Amino acid sequence: MKNRVKGTILATLVVGMTLSGTAGVYAGSNLQKISAYLKHNISFEINGKTFVPTDGNGNKLAPIVYNDSTYLPVRALSEALKASVNYNSHTGVITIDTPSAPNNGNTGNHTGTDLVAVTYSSSQIQEIKSEFAKFDGFTTAYAPMQAAKNDSFQKVAAGGDSVTFAFNHMTVQISPRDNSFEYDGKNITLSNGVQAKWYTPSNTTMLTFKLDDRFVTLYSQDHSLSNAQLEKVAVSVAKLK
């Protein structure tokens, strides 16, 4: 068959090697042996410009044809589209984040999903711990450890049944109550394997997930952060030392 090189490959290995350059992260029970073809006569154009997918060593990559479907190299194409690709070997989840991923009402004006570490001063740490100390049986302090670039921590306050962190472009609430319980929404899995839920109680989309004995809710009050950014911030929420 012209322009095709028949070979035996491992279905999950195709994605694994494209993402990380190694198949060592896969357990044997997750591998399925198949017979497929490398399709060398397919070319690519992205926004009118010729694109040649390559691996980390600069070697040209060819699409794979299997059961009449064409499979493309994930990392090479995603990065050509300015999207970031990450693989979590513990959960088996591949995450692809576009440079600006507006969805569910969040316009995502900030570039990409880049985050920076939140550095709390000694006085801010003391203030955060003091706010959590106002709740009996709920005194352990938690806080978001990352935020989007150009965002900054403003204040923390205990009120009602939650402790609320106010940033310029997002709000993080930590509570013993599940704020998403009464709403329909979309269930997702965060990059750390934790189950979370997107829902829209009014005009602002919110994300809630359970962390230890409490629930964390995040949203961007000015809709300037994308869902992908908020999901990454969610993963960073941890006990404050």
pLDDT per residue as tens digits for the range 129-186 = 999 999 877 789 999 999 998 899 999 999 888 999 999 999 999 999 998 988 999 9
Residue 198, strand partner residues:
186, 207
Most distant CA atoms of the chain, gap in Å:
73
What's the domain range around 9? Answer: 4-97
For 102, the token pair is 């507006």
According to the model, what pLDDT value does residue 173 have?
Answer: 96
Residue 123, Cβ density class (10 Å: 0-12 exposed, 13-18 middle, ≥19 buried): exposed
pTM recorded for the entire structure: 0.56
Same domain as 205, residue 125: yes
Same domain as 195, residue 127: yes
According to the model, what pLDDT value does residue 13 have?
Answer: 36
Same domain as 89, residue 130: no
Cα distances (Å, whole numbers) of residue 125 to 132, 199, 241? 11, 30, 9
Q: Considering the domain boundaries, does residue 53 fall inside one?
A: yes
Phi/psi for 122 (5° steps) reads -60, -40
- In 3D, which of 84, 94, 81 has the Cα closest to residue 114? 84
Q: Give the total number of structural domains in the chain.
A: 2
Quote the Cα angle for 123-126-131, to 5°: 125
Q: Tell me the HSE value of 166 on the side-chain side, using a 13 A CA sphere.
A: 6
According to the model, what pLDDT value does residue 89 have?
Answer: 62
- Of 41, 62, 97, which closes a domain? 97
